[in-house]
């Protein structure tokens, strides 16, 4: 009987080992079978707007208009402005910040409606991010496509607005931010992912197990998993979010490997995607989506850094293609309509849009 038990245990361990090896082989085969494409320039559009740089993410609406938050020359005078350009490079609309509000993040809906996450500037203190009793109120400012302010919504929860957010077509607001500490101390690092209804009422908080190892990596300053930072939580603060063509929100953490949460308008965590940059490892910097494809640009900091663009299925995260991207295209990407991309860069103090096709 003892020998029979040993044989059964050995058989079980063998099955587990073979299964793990098969899964590892499947992942390698998936990466090897992914196509490798090059970008061919279709058009280059020069604008007449004077700026030094732009704050990612740049975004497109359904008509191909490009929205950017610049800083540089206009930093002191126009902090928080959002500029709208048509595909010809003509600046058509300026979305101005509202008096009394400090803008943090922005979101552009497909119909051109612009949303801005902002805090009540009168409530700001040097301890706002460390003491929940002094945390300012957060608001969602909604602008019409012509740049006029349409509505202000106060969110009934305190959080540090360093991260990203989206607004579902049905009106729900999904925020990816950072918890505010209860008391004075070090900057907090606990993620705050929550769903609000269209009136700003907190519906639910959303938790994911991957945030546990991300938070531990930040506390341990493990730069093999998270970016080095003296701030609260770089994985959340540098992450991005968008509404996919399937109606779900895609919330990306800037980690190694990239982690993307797929969340429904009801606040359910539909699935979690873990996406590899390939070798050598690179952090995700930009995320776009169209027709079931995620396009992610991976790039580390450095003067001679070579960006890497990969396409993944939104269902299971299978790698589809690697697109060779040249540094001269710029570090910003605003539009993705397979196989077409629009990249953003600054040249001689002007914004330049490069339209390219992956072939």
CATH of the domain at 100: 2.120.10.30
pLDDT band at 203 (very low <50, low <70, confident <90, very high): very high
For residue 18, give both structure tokens: 């073979």
Identify whether 124 is part of a domain: yes
Among the ranges given (32-46, 147-161, 176-190, 216-230), the one the predictor scored with the smallest mean pLDDT:
176-190
Handedness of CA 308, 309, 310, 314 (dihedral sign): positive
Identify whether 334 is part of a domain: yes
* Cβ-based neighbour number of residue 339 at 10 Å: 16
Identify whether 47 is part of a domain: yes
Identify whether 28 is part of a domain: no
Provide mean pLDDT across the span 246-250: 98
Provide mean pLDDT across the span 12-27: 39
Identify whether 230 is part of a domain: yes
Residue 66: which residues within 8 A CB-CB, separation 6 or more? 58, 59, 60, 84, 85, 86, 87, 334, 335, 342, 344, 353
| Residue (of 125, 128, 107) closest to 116 by Cα position | 107
The domain tally of the chain equals 1
Predicted confidence (pLDDT) at residue 342 exceeds the cutoff of 60 = yes
* CA separation for the pair 206, 215 (Å, rounded): 15
Half-sphere exposure of 212 (CA within 13 A, CB side): 3
Question: Strand ranges (DSSP E) for 255-304?
Answer: 258-263, 269-275, 284-290, 293-298
Identify whether 81 is part of a domain: yes
* CA separation for the pair 333, 212 (Å, rounded): 30
**Are 269 and 208 spatial neighbours (Cβ–Cβ below 8 Å)?**
yes
Q: What residues make up the domain containing 50?
A: 39-358
Identify whether 213 is part of a domain: yes
Predicted confidence (pLDDT) at residue 55 exceeds the cutoff of 70 = no
Identify whether 27 is part of a domain: no
Q: What is the pLDDT of residues 122-157, one digit of tens each?
A: 887 655 555 555 678 999 999 999 999 999 999 999
pTM across the whole model = 0.87
Considering only CA atoms, give the Rg of the chain. Answer: 22
Provide mean pLDDT across the span 108-131: 81
pLDDT at 195: 98
């Amino acid at each position: 009987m003892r020998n029979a038990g040993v044989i059964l245990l050995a058989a079980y361990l063998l099955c587990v080992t073979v299964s793990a090896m098969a899964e590892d082989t499947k992942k390698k085969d998936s990466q090897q079978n992914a196509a490798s494409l090059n970008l061919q320039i279709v058009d280059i559009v020069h604008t007449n707007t004077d700026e030094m740089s732009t704050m990612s993410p740049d975004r497109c609406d359904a008509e191909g208009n490009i929205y950017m938050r610049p800083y540089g020359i206009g930093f002191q005078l126009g902090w928080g402005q959002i500029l709208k350009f048509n595909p010809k490079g003509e600046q058509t609309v300026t979305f101005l910040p509202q008096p009394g509000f400090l803008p943090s993040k922005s979101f552009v809906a497909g119909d051109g409606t612009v949303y801005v996450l902002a805090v009540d500037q009168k409530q700001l203190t040097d301890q706002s991010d460390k003491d929940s009793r002094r945390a300012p109120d957060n608001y969602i400012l909604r602008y019409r496509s012509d740049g006029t302010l349409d509505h202000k919504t106060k969110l009934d929860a305190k959080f540090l607005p360093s991260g990203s957010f989206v607004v579902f077509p049905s009106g729900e607001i999904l925020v990816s931010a950072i918890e505010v500490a209860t008391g004075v101390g070090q900057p907090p690092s606990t993620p705050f992912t929550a769903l609000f209804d269209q009136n700003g009422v907190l519906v639910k908080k959303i938790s994911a197990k991957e945030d546990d190892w991300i938070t531990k990596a930040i506390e341990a300053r493990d730069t093999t998993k998270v970016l080095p930072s003296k701030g609260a939580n770089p994985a959340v603060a540098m992450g991005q979010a968008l509404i996919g063509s399937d109606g779900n929100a895609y919330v990306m953490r800037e980690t190694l490997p990239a982690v993307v949460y797929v969340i429904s308008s009801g606040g359910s965590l539909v699935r979690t995607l873990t996406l590899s940059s390939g070798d050598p490892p690179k952090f995700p910097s930009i995320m776009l989506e169209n027709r079931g494809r995620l396009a992610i640009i991976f790039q580390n900091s450095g003067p001679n850094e070579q960006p890497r663009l990969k396409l993944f299925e939104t269902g299971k995260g299978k790698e589809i293609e690697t697109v060779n991207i040249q540094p001269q295209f710029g570090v910003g990407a605003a539009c993705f309509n397979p196989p077409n991309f629009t990249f953003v860069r600054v040249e001689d103090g002007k914004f330049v849009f490069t339209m390219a096709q992956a072939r």
